[in-house]
Structure 1
Amino acid sequence: MDMRQLKYFLKVADVGGISKASIQLNVTQSAVSAQIASLEDELGSTLFLRRSRGVEITDAGRILYRHARTILRQSEIAREEVAHSEGVPSGTVSLGLPSAMAEMVGMAMIRACAERLPLVRLRIVEGVSSLLVDFMSSGRLDISILFVGQAPAGLKAMPVLEEELFYVCSPRSAYATAGKTAITLADAVQTPLVMPEVGNSMRRIVDAACAKAGIGIEPVAELDSLILLKACVAQDVASTFLPWSVVSKEEAAGDVHVMRVKTPAFSRPLSICTSSQGARGIATDVVTVLLRTVIIDLVKGGAWQGVTLSS
């Protein structure tokens, strides 16, 4: 196996087709096909099943995918550290951010990296937590913020904070016009609610709190979209439960009314996660430390409210 074979293999696996891979790699389809065929011959295994609309990776291909990601990443780390052997952090670091905080944390990290780590190229990927876990496990991300207290398999977790959920309603609602700043969970679930789908980290917190209190909850709709959740609130269709970080701009603009929920255990853990397997470059380590510093600064500076820092 050589690096070119692995690079071509990963690209085909990522895009799901030889034609698409050849375009992104800027080589001919025959060149990509030849490298894949050579790799399959060398390993004695079929890596892809050819379909009418592309390719489907096999179980053997999935095993190789995990190793290939690690091999190429370690090669990249070695080149970067040798090229900058004086110890100045450099190279590319991939950071995964949940959509709920991508703008706030992402912008702060971009500024901090530009100021403190000028030779580090930060690549930020926004996505839902389940996607970020998959990307971390496959080696496509070096670091990710995840809503977990304990690390998923193959990852290490550094707990950073607990993020509280709030009841978010229309500024035209009776609670808002009365100037209410807090609400019981029992009262909140009596109002029309839109919620993320079951399995979402926010939904798990709400469902667990309702179950503990013996309260039933029947949302009028399940929406896998923060934009739609906030739109339903702003247009007085329904209320919801969200972290303050998601609705800070809307609250400041007067588009929503935010209330604390008077119930225990109404927060979700947030951790910085890295791989527990394979080598990590100097750049990844320093960006991990910087990310924690940036988050703490956001909280202590008041830019991120409704959270409690981990001890």
Structure 2
Amino acid sequence: MHIESLKYFQQIAKIKSISKVANRSHISQPALSQQIQKLEDSLGKQLFIRSNRGVKLTNSGEVVLKYADNIIRIYNKMLSDLEEQENREIKIEGEYTIATYCLPCAILNMKFKFPNHKYNLIAAASDQIEQDVLSDICEVGFTTNSVSEKALISENVINEKVVLISPAAFNLPDKIELSEVLDYKFIILKEDCIIKEKFKDALADLGFNFNQINIIARLDSTEAVKTLVRKGYGVAFVPYNSVRDDLDLHELKVSRIKDYSLDYDIYMISKKAELLTDEVKDFINNFKKLGKHICY
């Protein structure tokens, strides 16, 4: 099985058209069809059902597509490692909020300690990070959950404070009880995240259901949440690191909930030490020495 044929297969499966992929790839349609036929022959399975309307995956095609992305990414990682043998790059993945607000400062500290190391930080979903560490797509991952895979190690390395942000005009106190803010309008993230889960648990302890609070917006990013809070639409729970640099502007008020903690731990995941390069071992060992409150 040739990797190029697998790449073409993946594109066709997503676009559902051999002719469109041929045009985009600057290859003739008969030549592309031949590539796919060779892939089908090598696997002994029909991968597409062809019609005048385009192509549709067979059941076997669905199975191949399930693995194609990971195979291609591992192949690209191999090429990258071959190119970087002389100047090793450590690939790091973190959940979106962690990679955006928490890790850059920590990795800069590591760069000062190891100036010859190169770090490539990528944001990804939690389940993808675990799989990518297993598959050697990245060497180190950071998630809000400890790993379930026995082949991986997870260590609690960071404790992230969670704060309530509100428009300055609301004039909320520095410390406030959770029950005192439930009448406000809330802005939250669409995606499932640990802050939302901890908020739900705290509400349940108070005898409230999450669906009872007034949620006026469910947004895709913490930056979007902050924008609506600045404009006075409501309040939100966010990681402290996401607003730390905004405080001097006095557009947001930061409060801590004094009767419940929504703070959460961040775990560093990797393979076992005997499977790691010396550079990755140095990164892991010294990252743990930074302490749990890295950027405060």
Query: What's the TM-score bracket when you normalise by the shorter of the two chains?
Result: 0.7 to 0.9
Show the 5 A alignment for 1:86-125: 90=88, 93-104=90-101, 105-106=103-104, 109=107, 112=110, 116=114, 118=116, 120=118, 122-125=119-122
Q: CA RMSD in A?
A: 4.2
| 1:165 counterpart = 2:139 | no
1:174–1:66 CA distance, 2 compared to 1 (3 A): closer
What is the CA-CA distance between 1:247 and the residue it aligns to? 1.1
Structure 1 CA distance, aligned partners of 2:130 and 2:279? 21
Retained in 1: the 8 A contact 2:222–2:238? no
In the alignment, structure 2 segments of 5+ residues that lack a partner are none
Q: How far apart are the structure 1 equivalents of 2:12 and 2:151?
A: 24
Return the match for 1:256 from 228, 252, 264. Answer: 252
Q: Identity, % of aligned pairs?
A: 17
Selected match of 1:149 from 124, 142, 146 = 146
Moved more, 16-25 or 64-73: 16-25
In 2, Cα distance between equivalents of 1:273 and 1:248: 26
Secondary structure in structure 2 of the residue aligned to 1:161: strand
Q: Is the 8 A contact 2:184 2:214 kept in 1?
A: no
Aligned residues: 288
How high is the TM-score relative to the length of structure 2? 0.73
Match of 1:290 in 2: 283
What one-letter code is carried by the residue in structure 2 that aligns with 1:101? I
For the residue of structure 1 that corresponds to 2:45, the secondary structure is: coil
Q: Give me the whole-angstrom Cα distance separating, in 1, the residues matched to 2:93 and 2:27.
A: 29
Letter in 1 for 2:215: V
Does 2:196 correspond to 1:203? yes
- 1:68 is the counterpart of 2:71: yes
Which runs of 5 or more residues in structure 1 are unaligned? Answer: 306-311
User: Cα gap change, 1:46/1:220 in structure 2, threshold over 3 Å: closer, same or farther?
Assistant: same
Question: Alignment partner of 1:270: what SS?
Answer: strand
Per-residue CA deviation, residues 141-176 of structure 1 (Å, 9 max, x unaligned), is: 55432221344698643332232321111111131x
The alpha carbon displacement at 1:109 in A equals: 3.1
Equivalent AA in structure 2 for residue 229 of structure 1: V
Tell me the TM-score normalized by structure 1. 0.70
Which whole-Å deviations, capped at 9, do the CAs of 1:106-155 have from their partners, x for residues lacking one?
Answer: 365378459736475x4433345466567667775554322213446986
The answer to whether the 8 A contact 2:90-2:117 is kept is: no
Cα distance in 2 for residues equivalent to 1:27 and 1:110:
44
